[in-house]
Amino acid sequence: MSIKEHMESITWIDVETGGLDENTHSLIDVYLCQFRVSKNNELILDRELSLPVKSGVYNITSGAMKVNGIDLSDDSDRVGEVKASYLLNKFLGGNGKVLLGGHNTQFDARFFFKYLEFLRVSPIARGLSHIKFNYKFIDTFTLANAIGSTTVAFDFGNFGLHELVRELDLPGYVKDMYQSGAHSAKVDAIASAECYFRLLLDMTYV
pTM of the model: 0.92
The predicted pLDDT at position 157 comes to 47
Q: What distance in Å separates the CA atoms of residue 94 and residue 184, rounded to the nearest whole number?
A: 27
In this structure, the chain runs to a length of 206
pLDDT tens-place string over residues 21-35: 999 999 999 999 999
Domains of the chain in sequence order: 3-205 (3.30.420.10)
Q: What distance in Å separates the CA atoms of residue 58 and residue 72, rounded to the nearest whole number?
A: 8
In the chain, which residues have pLDDT < 70?
148-159, 181-182, 204-206
Q: What distance in Å separates the CA atoms of residue 146 and residue 127, rounded to the nearest whole number?
A: 39
Run of H or E residues at 177: helix 172-179
User: Among positive and negative, which fits the CA dihedral 25, 26, 28, 32?
Assistant: positive
